[in-house]
């Protein structure tokens, strides 16, 4: 990867973002969890430039975690302090960012030692300097110690080996390598503008209508204002697939299950001049965010209702008690899933995920699909959607549903894959009730 040395120098001079990335890394290493939630704790009080640097570095650490850990273990048989490890992980992430640029690597080493003088006890400065001199070689050589080609790839691109093996089985080695590399690149910031909203100069039109990418270099304030005003939404183009498949029309009654945070609901509403949309999600924080994102969209022509409920507790009686329809022209089920199609965007998810989780997800998804189908009127349709690329959660699950539900037939099937679609992975099936 080619590095802009001037840019790297400027970023290195911003100590606050760098230091905060070290702090977050230390917390994450001690208590692994949701990286986005941890990052959110750092946003307050930081300017955009410092926060962006903190985010990039922290996510780079999480994205490359197994490679960083392997390299550090080879250099430090006895583990130093957690603070020192966190600092070295952030510096190692910068080394990977520098690629083969020796000048940039030297700058990273110098900067790490400087930061060590500020953040660590004085005795650690020499230790950090010694490790940093050997770290580039360790990062390069650790994968080569593996005899199996797939193990080399899994370590080089920091993915669980079981996941790499699963992808090789389902997609072949070349596509697996693409996926591993794809997940290691920071995801583009896609912004979907509501209809009629003019694109700010800092946004560039993508190949997908209505979706733009933020190019950086300023202008984020104008975009932030649009996001706050609900006139824009941060969404990957893959999210359009389930809405396109459902094809909402004016006057329809649509049930949106597992609807939070509301991005797909907003897409549905943008295509309907009138009708009824009922959104369902679990009580608590999810529905709170759903209400915020759909605020002000309910009117005489377009009725929007939010139901706080577990999907499995829904019934015709419950809908009647809320003065809502018992059956619908269309149902959207954007089911909870393994997130294997969005690991580039959620770099920590790969470390939480276990192979058994995919089967567990599929079992839950099958139950949700069966329940959701009960609310589809005769002649109506249901769209089943995930952000997974695993066949067990998509094609195989839908095939099994169709075998036991003869009154449904499939009218559309879409499997978005990064190597052919150039955006997040997703699975979508459109089913019609005969």
Does residue 7 have a pLDDT over 70?
A: no
pLDDT, residue 48, reads: 79
Greater pLDDT, 241 or 216:
241
**Which pLDDT does position 18 carry in this prediction?**
94
Question: Is 259 found in the same domain as 210?
Answer: no
User: Taking 80 as the threshold, does the pLDDT of residue 93 lie above it?
Assistant: yes
**Can you tell me the mean pLDDT for 72-82?**
87
Which pLDDT band holds residue 1 (cuts at 50, 70, 90)? Answer: very low
Has residue 249 been placed in a domain? Answer: yes
Last residue of a domain, one of 234, 259, 286: 234
Kindly state whether residue 173 falls inside one of the protein's structural domains: no
| Pair of tokens at residue 9 | 């120098």
Of 234, 263, 286, the domain-final residue: 234
Q: What digits encode the pLDDT tens for the residues 230-276?
A: 899 999 999 999 999 999 999 999 999 999 999 999 999 999 989 99
Are 226 and 273 in the same domain? no
What values do phi and psi take at 276, rounded to 5?
-140, 130
For 210: left if phi > 0, alpha if psi spans -120 to 50, otherwise beta; the answer is left
Mean pLDDT of 82-91: 95
Six token digits for residue 173: 């080695």
What's the 3-state SS for 239-269? HHHHHHHHCCCCCCEEEEECCCCCHHHHHHH
Helix (H, G, I), strand (E, B) or coil at 109: helix
Do residues 321 and 250 share a domain?
yes
Q: What CATH number does the domain containing 31 carry? A: 1.10.940.10
- In this structure, the answer to whether residues 208 and 347 fall within a common structural domain is no
Beta carbons of 95 and 87 less than 8 angstroms apart: no
pLDDT confidence of 10, banded at 50, 70, 90? Answer: very low
Same domain assignment for residues 362 and 338? yes
| Whether residues 383 and 247 fall in one domain | yes
Strands 253-257 and 408-416: unpaired
Q: Among 145, 175, 199, identify where a domain stops.
A: 145
Number of domains in the chain: 3
Question: What is the structure's pLDDT at 389?
Answer: 98
Q: Are residues 416 and 285 in the same domain?
A: yes
d(CA 287, CA 300): 23
121: left (phi over 0), alpha (psi -120 to 50) or beta: beta
**Percent of the chain having pLDDT more than 90?**
84
- For residue 8, name the pLDDT band (cuts at 50, 70, 90): very low
pLDDT score of 326: 96
Whether residues 223 and 361 fall in one domain: no
- What is the domain range of residue 17? 5-145
Q: How far apart are CA 60 and CA 94, in angstroms?
A: 8
Residue 339 belongs to a domain: yes
The total number of residues shown for the chain amounts to: 434
Closest CA to 22 of 62, 72, 57: 57
Any idea of the CA torsion for 34, 35, 37, 40, to the nearest 10 degrees?
Answer: 180
Is 305 a domain residue? yes
Check pLDDT > 70 for residue 11.
Answer: no
Residue 323's contacts (CB-CB under 8 Å, 6 or more residues apart) are none
Angle of CA points 141, 142, 147, to nearest 5°:
100
Contacts of 365 (CB under 8 A, 6+ apart): 335, 336, 337, 384, 386, 393, 397
pLDDT of residue 218: 76
Which pLDDT does position 300 carry in this prediction? 85
Whole-number Å distance between alpha carbons of 93 and 60: 6
Are residues 228 and 344 both part of a single domain? no
- Whether 225 and 265 share a structural domain: no
Instruction: Sheet with 211-214: list strands edge to edge.
Output: 203-205, 211-214, 190-193, 232-234
Confidence of residue 286 (pLDDT cuts 50, 70, 90): very high
pLDDT greater at residue 365 or residue 186: 365
Where is average pLDDT lowest: 99-103, 215-219, 246-250, 312-316?
A: 215-219
How does 280-291 read in b/e, with b if 16+ C-beta sit within 10 Å? bbeeeebbeebe
In a domain, 403, yes or no: yes
294-349 pLDDT per residue, tens: 998 889 899 999 999 999 999 999 999 999 999 999 999 999 999 999 999 999 99
- CB burial of 401-418 (b: ≥16 within 10 Å; e: otherwise) equals beeeeeebeeebbbbbbb
Task: Give domain status of residue 151, yes or no.
Answer: no
- Looking at the fold, whether 274 and 383 belong to one and the same domain comes out as yes
CATH of the domain at 265: 3.40.50.150
132-188 pLDDT, tens digit per residue, is: 999 999 999 999 999 999 999 999 999 999 999 999 999 999 999 999 999 999 999
**Do the domain assignments include residue 329?**
yes
User: Mean pLDDT of all residues in the chain?
Assistant: 93
Domain assignment of residue 154, yes or no: no
225 & 352 share domain: no
């Amino acid at each position: 990867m080619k590095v802009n040395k001037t840019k790297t120098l400027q970023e290195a001079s911003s100590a606050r973002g760098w230091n905060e990335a070290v702090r977050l890394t230390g917390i994450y290493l001690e208590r692994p969890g949701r990286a986005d939630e941890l990052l959110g704790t750092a946003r307050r009080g930081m300017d955009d430039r410092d926060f962006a640097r903190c985010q990039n570095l922290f996510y780079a650490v999480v994205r490359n975690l197994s490679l960083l850990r392997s390299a550090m273990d080879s250099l430090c048989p006895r583990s130093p302090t957690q603070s020192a490890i966190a600092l070295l992980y952030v510096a190692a992430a910068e080394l990977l960012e520098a690629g083969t640029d020796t000048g940039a690597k030297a700058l990273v080493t110098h900067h790490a030692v400087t930061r060590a003088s500020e953040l660590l006890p004085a005795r650690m400065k020499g230790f950090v300097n010694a490790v940093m001199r050997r770290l580039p070689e360790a990062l390069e050589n650790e994968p080569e110690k593996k005899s199996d080609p797939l193990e080399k790839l899994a370590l080089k691109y920091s993915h669980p080996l079981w996941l790499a093996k699963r992808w090789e089985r389902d997609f072949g080695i070349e596509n697996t390598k693409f996926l591993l590399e794809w997940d290691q690149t920071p995801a583009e910031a896609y912004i979907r503008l509501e209809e009629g909203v003019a694109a700010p100069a800092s946004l560039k039109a993508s190949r997908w209508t209505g979706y733009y990418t933020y190019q950086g270099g300023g202008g984020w304030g104008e975009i932030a204002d649009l996001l706050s005003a609900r006139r824009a939404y941060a969404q990957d183009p893959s999210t359009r697939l389930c809405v396109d498949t459902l094809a909402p029309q004016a006057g329809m009654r649509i049930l949106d299950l597992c609807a939070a945070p509301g991005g797909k609901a907003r897409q549905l509403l943008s295509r309907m001049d009138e009708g009824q949309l009922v959104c369902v999600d679990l009580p608590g924080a999810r529905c709170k965010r759903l209400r915020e994102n759909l605020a002000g969209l309910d009117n005489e022509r377009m009725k929007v209702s939010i139901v706080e409920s577990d999907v499995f507790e829904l019934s015709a009686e419950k809908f009647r008690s809320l003065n809502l329809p018992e059956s619908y022209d269309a149902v959207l089920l954007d089911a909870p899933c393994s997130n294997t199609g969005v690991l580039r965007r959620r770099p920590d998810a790969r470390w939480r995920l276990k192979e058994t989780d995919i089967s567990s997800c599929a079992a839950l998804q099958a139950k949700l699909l069966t329940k959701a189908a009960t609310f589809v009127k005769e002649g109506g349709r249901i769209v089943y959607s995930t952000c997974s690329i695993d066949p067990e959660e998509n094609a195989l699950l839908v095939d099994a549903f169709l075998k036991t539900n003869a009154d449904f037939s499939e009218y559309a099937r879409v499997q978005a894959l990064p190597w052919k679609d150039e955006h997040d992975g997703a699975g979508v099936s459109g089913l019609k009730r005969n």
